[in-house]
A = this chain, B = another copy of it.
Amino acid sequence: MGSDKSTAGTAVGSAAGAPLTGARIGRVAAPIREQVLDVIRQGILDFQLRPGQRLIERELIEQLGVSRPTIREVLSRLVAEGLVTIQPQHGATVAVLSPVEAEDIYEMRVPLEVLVMQRFVKRATDEEIAQLRGALGRIEEITEAGSETQSRLRAKDDFYQIVFEGARSPVLAQTLQTMQGRIRLLRATSLATAGRPEASLEEIRQLVGAIERRDLDAVAAAATAHVRNAAASALSQLAENEAETAQR
């Protein structure tokens, strides 16, 4: 199964005499820990690893075929991202987002998302704006087809990816990306998928329209509305879940 070990190790080695060609494309260096990081993060973000689930080092080692130091480094990184919690003598678990934290994150997201969207307006090329329109189109398709949550999430990720690129602010992008990751945790917790795809879509349409018109105020309004609505939807659903759980 997971015998990825060989990936980096052997491969290129000492082939023959060809002295110049052997380099560049070989690209032996695909830092293992980056790969591991991506795998686990994706596992969390795709809900394969559920919030609250324990992440036992030995198991991860076996499944991924890497060594313990690597795993530990990766887990540390994920802690920093807020996707994993470590209890001192007890180990790592996939983070569980409390409603209060979720609310905070949404509240922080509002102004930051306004900022990034306005940046996009100011800095993106026409081509990038066109790409954004394209990404919107894909979201529309998926929503109309009533497709899986997974693919809609992915389409939205693409959308944001374009925004982040065009906004030319790595710091802002990274912060927002982390926040969105944590919020996705929430979605896993509340099983949600907060089924308001149509409303959400319309908000995004508004947003893209405002961006194309380069109307900063409208952009701010649309971004604010979008995040606020998403927050309201997610939190109410969460509250519901909470109530149910409590009743039991």
Contact = CB atoms under 8 A, between A and B. Distances in A.
Contact of A31 (B81, B88, B101, B108): B88
A104 interface: yes
Contact of A112 (B76, B89, B111): B111
Nearest to A37: B76
User: How many subunits of this chain does the assembly comprise?
Assistant: 2
A171 interface: yes
A52 interface: no
Nearest to A89: B29
Contact of A104 (B29, B31, B107, B171): B171
B104 A108 contact: no
Interface of A: 29, 31, 69, 72-73, 76-77, 79-82, 88-89, 101, 104-105, 107-108, 111-112, 115, 169-172, 175
Given A108-B112, A175-B175, 20 more contacts: A29-B88, A31-B88, A69-B69, A69-B72, A72-B73, A73-B73, A76-B76, A77-B77, A77-B79, A82-B171, A101-B170, A101-B171, A104-B169, A105-B171, A107-B115, A108-B115, A108-B171, A108-B172, A111-B111, A111-B112
